[in-house]
Structure 1
Amino acid sequence: MNNIKLKIKDKIHFKINDKTKSYIDKLMLSIKNNLDLILFLIIIYVKVMHYGKQISPDYFYAKVDRPIIASILILVSFFTLFKQSRRIKLLFTLDILISLILIADIVYFRYYKDVITVSAVKNVKLLTGVSASVKSLINVKDFLYLIDIVFLAPIIKKFKVANNNKKMFLRKACMFMATLLIGVVMDTQSVYAVSKEQPTLISSMSDRVYLTKMIGNINFHAIDAYNFVSTSIKNSSKLSTAREQEIKDFLAKNNESTGTNFTGTAEGKNLIMIQVEALQGFVINQKINGQEITPNLNRWVNKSMYFDNYFYQVAGGNTSDAEFMSNNSLYPAESGAAYYSYSGNTYSSLAKELKEKQYNTAAFHANNEGFWNRNVMYPVQGFDKFYGQHSFNIDENVGLGLSDKSFLNQSLDKLKTLKQPYYSFLVTLSSHYPYDDTKGYGDFNVGEYEGTLLGNYLKGIHYTDQQLGTFLDKLEKEKILDNSIVVLYGDHFAIPKDNEQELYKFEKINNATDYDWVKNQKVPMFIHFPGDENKGVNHTYSSQMDLYPTLANMFNLPRQYMLGKDILNGNSGKVVFRNGSFTNGKVFYVSWTNTYYDVKTGEKIPETEALKAEKEQYLKELQYSDDILNHNLIKTFKGK
């Protein structure tokens, strides 16, 4: 009896083992047949996660692994339908493509502190003029994104492809549907969570870095591509009458006069505006090894009305964005550069309105005329003449091209030929990133910062300061300033986010927060009046968007289509950045971490209903600006 029981037990045990072995064999076969898909998912996941940590080492959203996996599953699902031999080659190609996009993204982020978009890619031809800048941003470690390609290439050649049975089509279809469904459900939940937290973020893409950290790089590019196509389709149609009226009402209210301080004080006088390449605020009135970094600008700051809380607001268009805002008081393009994307629009710009008052208008910049599409945009904005690279004798090169010394000397000669009154707009070049022309910059002892990016920058801006001092002194000596208003400001940051520790060390900032970064993103701006009148420091929180409204008041120009404010009449402290960050002079909101800081204490504070409403209002204003550009509304409004 016992023997019979043992035999039955043995048979059952044998069957169970046999069944388990069968399942294991099937599982192993399935893994083998889909090893390429599994490897692809793991490799791309590691790369995208690594990228996320690179752009945000201090604030990395841990739950981002869910949308990253989901986005890869969606990609993988489509490849389950292919025969394995073809599938492996396609996955290998896609791996290379994603790796190259990640490398482009990280290089772009180092300079622009942003994520590259479809619209930005349209400007890639503009990088030919700054190839040295691009090369300096590339790190050898970036090519680690391609390291798996090197190892996988020979393995793929030797990989034995499993037999593809036609009867497996149904199984493949089921696998496709299951993988796609899992990916879509996971992804939808993640994207919905972001849209619930910040309702306009997905559509406006106002803070691309924050969005990428929340949903991953692949999802970001998919949404960006969708938004680009849908926006192009939407913009090809007419904006609704109700939306037009809403924007028109906002502009009317925003451009109401807030006071009469300095109204008309500059009427009839020349306007000489100088935009200085990479002039950041931290160098003003600063010394290194007992030497002033910008002795000449320091001197002219003391002879002028100086704004020490003046922020740059550039986006993908960088230097061209600074020009665009200062001359139009419209925000930079949502993606790419307004100078390139909206060169066919109608503007009510500073040069154009001064021309209506019989001013002669001229722009001066020694770079290639076509760079940033200036040869098109300057005439569109009302400049009668554009003195570009071919208008100058290229007798001395410093940095990217003609030295500031030669540029300013030659510009002065041209300036003297202009019939008064005139508006001359000058853009310098020598202090351009990556500040590697240290021989051209001359001798300036930067001490412990020798050989660093910050040290090279200090040399570059010290050189430019010398040339600006000489130029301004000549204007004064030749009595040109007796009937001229001079405006001088920096265009954008000098030290990229990637080198923030050098800036913090120089500024003696320990345990830096995001607020320490944003509060340092100021550029100098001063307005010099004849006879050094009205000199002093203005502490109002202001920005590049506010320059044109301020000058419009001084020169008695019409104010109809400006989104900025007159700094000399009012103290709202409002500064809105393209990524959705803002300050009102009391609170600073950092969009990429969704955090509020008290300006006085630098401490984090909770979001209130009032602050949330303020944030939503400013995002709405950014969208108004986008609609004005996308639908050429100034032309429409002027026509009506």
Structure 2
Amino acid sequence: MRFPDVKDNKIFGRVLNLLFNNIDIILFCSIVFVKLMSYEKDISSGYLNKSVIFPIAASILILTSFSFAFKEKTRISFLYIADIVLSAILIADLMYYRYFKDITTVAAIRNAKLLQGVSSSVSSVASVKDLYYLLDLFILLPVARIYKKKKKNIKPLPKRLLSFLIIFVLGFGINASVFYRVSKQQPTLLTSMSNRIYLTNMIGDVDFHLVDSYNYISNSIKNSKKLPDQKEKDIKTFLQNNNKDTDESNFKGIGEGKNLIVIQVEALQGFVINQKVNGQEITPNLNKWVNKCMYFDNYFYQVAGGNTSDAEFMSNNSLYPAQSGAAYYTYSGDKYDSLASSLKDKNYYTAALHGNSEGFWNRNVMYKAQSFDDFFGEHSFNVDEKIGLGLSDKSFLNQSLEKMKSFKQPYYSFLVTLTSHFPYEAVDKYGDFNVGEYEGTFIGNYLKAIHYTDAQLGEFLDNLEKDGIMQNSIIALYGDHFAIPKDNAQQLFKFENESNSDDYTWFKYQKVPLLLHFPGDEYAGVNHKYTGQMDLYPTLANMYNLPKNYMFGNDMLNGTSQKVIFRNGSFIDGQNLYVSWSNTYYNLKSGTKVNETEELKNEKNEYTKELEYSDDLLNHNLINTFDQEKGN
């Protein structure tokens, strides 16, 4: 039997001493790695890209490297604070993901002040599971204090700087190779960040936020400079080609001289139309009006971080939402060739009406920027009944109708409802609507809320008809965005008796109704064409014989385009669906996966470029530039 000699004991002692002096580093790296991997699993939609291990490890190494520059006791405090910050970021990212199906960005944080009043919405996507990301902080606090007292060894500054340099270079090298691989696979992904979830699944959350911060600063500097002349010409050429009149002229000028009433309905999703729960129609009034309207049943919402404001922005301008945050905030100083502006040029009176505070989503600024003559916000109404965020739909629509009766004709009225806003606090107002087994569930509360709003819409539309307003008006009614977030997808699938829960199935239900009503219920029927919110303005422009200059969408009643591009890089082309966050194609009819062809790859690149063109147009206020060039 061999006894350990003095030399062995010395080596063993050194190892123990090394481990003890770096136990804070070991614990930090291990705990943060577990948290970051857990986060990736939560946002990976069932498929975790295991290669994300490398960029996550690299980002931890880079972060940890800075701690080596400090004296040991300060190092412990640095690591503990870093753990707190990272945990807070991960929880915020998870909550944002559950609500928006996207990743938090610097631009979105800039818009945080616009989220006042929806604290109940934010708290509703919080989960007890999120405490998992905080547990270690409570456990490690007393341990860190004891460890600080026990630690005696202090390395000299040169050794600390050498350790910092070695660890930093190692982490930086791994990250460089990962970023190189990503840039080869998807050349514009790191700069355009058009597919943020997919990018996060490739480079990890810490690296994502570093790239986002770099891009934000870089774009701010770049956008302060003039866009290259060739890029400006490319955008102008694209718009000229996209806004050419088609050979067909269906419905051309049919709305000239008629009032235009557009109603944007909060959280009205398509799956509730002509659907029952517990033997009762969910939207009996809209179901009736569907049969009196031209009804688009493949109309998709295309909103991003601006949510409701994005739906307004697209419907009135046919420009894509901001890459990050909300266009209503970021681009309030731009010039717009909006629907209101074009109708004003034809001597229309234009007004926006909404029962929430005027400053919410920066509407008081943006409605002026879009040339509305008047904005009737919360202070223009008698707030006699408040539900959720503001004036109830019942009171809002009744009072709006009275205001509209006094408008100078012809007019454009843009109404935005509110009561069916997440988290669906209108349920108490409709306690008699029995949702059966869904009572008390997320989807059950939504069904009650949208049933309430349906009743108010029905009364409003009936009154428009009874008062004779419909005889000289065209009405467009659509939903603004999703009602059921991805976090509650299983409830939606159960309600629809769906056995599959893949991305294709999810996308099937990301439609909102669009109803176009013509005088005398003319042209009633169902249109199955694939369309989206970007296409509303071009369609109305044809109907009201308005100029088409700066629209990225297409006329739904003319041409063959069935292009629907989503801000996250997903798209529909009429035959295929591309899901950006999983980089997967599906056949629209069968739902089967499709291999990427050269044609589909080119299509994906073409649509990415289209998003970039819209971003450049907004970032550089190009509508103002183009208009000035016309004047010259």
Comparing 27-36 and 353-362, the one that deviates more: 27-36
Residue aligned with 1:424, SS: strand
Deviation readout 1:341-388 (Å, 9 max, x if unpaired) = 000000000001100000000000000100000000001101111010
Structure 1 regions of 5+ residues with no counterpart? Answer: 1-9
Deviation readout 1:280-328 (Å, 9 max, x if unpaired) = 0000111112211111111111101111100000000000000000000
Distance 2:13 2:165 in 1: 24
State whether residues 435 and 456 of structure 1, in contact with CA within 8 Å, keep that contact through their aligned partners in structure 2: yes
Distance 2:459 2:306 in 1: 30
Which residue identity does 1:153 align to in structure 2? L
Are 2:613 and 1:624 equivalent residues in the alignment? yes
- Pick one of 304, 319, 325 that aligns with 1:315: 304
Are 2:265 and 1:276 equivalent residues in the alignment? yes
Tell me the equivalent position of 2:438.
449
Residue aligned with 1:22, SS: helix
Are 2:305 and 1:334 equivalent residues in the alignment? no
- Pick one of 12, 19, 36 that aligns with 2:7: 19
Task: Quote the offset at 1:467 in angstroms.
Answer: 0.4
Tell me the equivalent position of 1:361.
350
- Pick one of 587, 591, 614 that aligns with 1:602: 591
Residue aligned with 1:537, SS: strand
Are 2:294 and 1:294 equivalent residues in the alignment? no
Distance 1:294 1:162 in 2: 68
Task: Quote the offset at 1:189 in angstroms.
Answer: 1.6
State whether residues 442 and 463 of structure 1, in contact with CA within 8 Å, keep that contact through their aligned partners in structure 2: no
Distance 2:154 2:588 in 1: 67
Tell me the equivalent position of 1:516.
505
Which residue identity does 1:66 align to in structure 2? F
Are 2:179 and 1:179 equivalent residues in the alignment? no
* Residues 427-446 of structure 1: pairs in structure 2 closer than 5 A: 427-446=416-435
Structure 2 regions of 5+ residues with no counterpart? Answer: none
Which residue identity does 1:338 align to in structure 2? A
State whether residues 362 and 385 of structure 1, in contact with CA within 8 Å, keep that contact through their aligned partners in structure 2: yes
Which residue identity does 1:428 align to in structure 2? T
Which residue identity does 2:112 align to in structure 1? V
Which residue identity does 1:196 align to in structure 2? K
Which residue identity does 2:187 align to in structure 1? P
Tell me the equivalent position of 1:248.
236
Distance 1:473 1:569 in 2: 30
Are 2:94 and 1:139 equivalent residues in the alignment? no
Distance 1:212 1:461 in 2: 34
Tell me the equivalent position of 1:107.
95
State whether residues 83 and 164 of structure 1, in contact with CA within 8 Å, keep that contact through their aligned partners in structure 2: no
* Residues 90-489 of structure 1: pairs in structure 2 closer than 5 A: 90-159=78-147, 160-165=149-154, 168-258=156-246, 259-489=248-478
Distance 2:173 2:307 in 1: 38
State whether residues 283 and 450 of structure 2, in contact with CA within 8 Å, keep that contact through their aligned partners in structure 1: yes
State whether residues 84 and 161 of structure 1, in contact with CA within 8 Å, keep that contact through their aligned partners in structure 2: no
Residue aligned with 2:103, SS: coil
State whether residues 363 and 426 of structure 1, in contact with CA within 8 Å, keep that contact through their aligned partners in structure 2: yes
Distance 1:360 1:195 in 2: 50
Are 2:492 and 1:490 equivalent residues in the alignment? no
Which residue identity does 2:424 align to in structure 1? Y
Tell me the equivalent position of 1:500.
489
Task: Quote the offset at 1:164 in angstroms.
Answer: 4.6
Task: Quote the offset at 1:161 in angstroms.
Answer: 4.9
State whether residues 426 and 452 of structure 2, in contact with CA within 8 Å, keep that contact through their aligned partners in structure 1: no
Identical aligned pairs, as a percentage?
A: 62
Distance 1:483 1:222 in 2: 55
Distance 1:220 1:17 in 2: 51
Task: Quote the offset at 1:165 in angstroms.
Answer: 4.5
Distance 1:552 1:428 in 2: 24
State whether residues 39 and 90 of structure 2, in contact with CA within 8 Å, keep that contact through their aligned partners in structure 1: yes
Distance 1:508 1:515 in 2: 15
Structure 1 length-normalised TM: 0.96
Tell me the equivalent position of 1:637.
626
Distance 1:64 1:238 in 2: 37
Are 2:101 and 1:78 equivalent residues in the alignment? no
State whether residues 77 and 176 of structure 1, in contact with CA within 8 Å, keep that contact through their aligned partners in structure 2: yes
Residue aligned with 1:588, SS: strand
Are 2:560 and 1:571 equivalent residues in the alignment? yes
Which residue identity does 2:307 align to in structure 1? N
Task: Quote the offset at 1:551 in angstroms.
Answer: 0.4
Task: Quote the offset at 1:169 in angstroms.
Answer: 2.9
Are 2:546 and 1:562 equivalent residues in the alignment? no
Task: Quote the offset at 1:526 in angstroms.
Answer: 1.1
Distance 1:418 1:336 in 2: 34
Residue aligned with 1:437, SS: helix
Residue aligned with 1:247, SS: helix
Tell me the equivalent position of 2:46.
58
Distance 1:310 1:141 in 2: 35
Quote the RMSD (CA, aligned, Å). Answer: 1.3
Which residue identity does 1:293 align to in structure 2? I
Tell me the equivalent position of 2:518.
529
Structure 2 length-normalised TM: 0.97
State whether residues 550 and 566 of structure 1, in contact with CA within 8 Å, keep that contact through their aligned partners in structure 2: yes
Distance 2:559 2:7 in 1: 82
Comparing 153-162 and 301-310, the one that deviates more: 153-162
Comparing 228-237 and 122-131, the one that deviates more: 122-131
Distance of aligned partners of 1:550 and 1:633 in 2 relative to their CA distance in 1, 3 Å threshold: same
State whether residues 398 and 441 of structure 1, in contact with CA within 8 Å, keep that contact through their aligned partners in structure 2: no
Which residue identity does 2:445 align to in structure 1? N
State whether residues 59 and 207 of structure 2, in contact with CA within 8 Å, keep that contact through their aligned partners in structure 1: yes
Distance 2:560 2:296 in 1: 13
Residue aligned with 2:412, SS: strand
State whether residues 85 and 161 of structure 1, in contact with CA within 8 Å, keep that contact through their aligned partners in structure 2: no
Task: Quote the offset at 1:27 in angstroms.
Answer: 2.3
Task: Quote the offset at 1:62 in angstroms.
Answer: 1.5
Distance 1:267 1:212 in 2: 48
Are 2:77 and 1:89 equivalent residues in the alignment? yes
State whether residues 55 and 109 of structure 1, in contact with CA within 8 Å, keep that contact through their aligned partners in structure 2: yes
Deviation readout 1:62-84 (Å, 9 max, x if unpaired) = 12111111100000011111101
Are 2:582 and 1:582 equivalent residues in the alignment? no
Task: Quote the offset at 1:209 in angstroms.
Answer: 0.9
Comparing 194-203 and 619-628, the one that deviates more: 194-203
Task: Quote the offset at 1:399 in angstroms.
Answer: 2.7
Residue aligned with 1:129, SS: coil
Which residue identity does 1:492 align to in structure 2? H
Tell me the equivalent position of 1:4.
none
Distance 1:407 1:29 in 2: 72
Residue aligned with 2:397, SS: helix
Residue aligned with 2:9, SS: helix
Residue aligned with 1:274, SS: strand
Which residue identity does 1:614 align to in structure 2? E
Distance 1:410 1:307 in 2: 29
Tell me the equivalent position of 1:39.
27
Residue aligned with 1:335, SS: coil
State whether residues 426 and 448 of structure 2, in contact with CA within 8 Å, keep that contact through their aligned partners in structure 1: no
State whether residues 399 and 440 of structure 1, in contact with CA within 8 Å, keep that contact through their aligned partners in structure 2: no
Distance 1:592 1:103 in 2: 20
State whether residues 304 and 533 of structure 1, in contact with CA within 8 Å, keep that contact through their aligned partners in structure 2: yes
Tell me the equivalent position of 1:549.
538
Comparing 182-191 and 586-595, the one that deviates more: 182-191
Comparing 184-193 and 514-523, the one that deviates more: 184-193
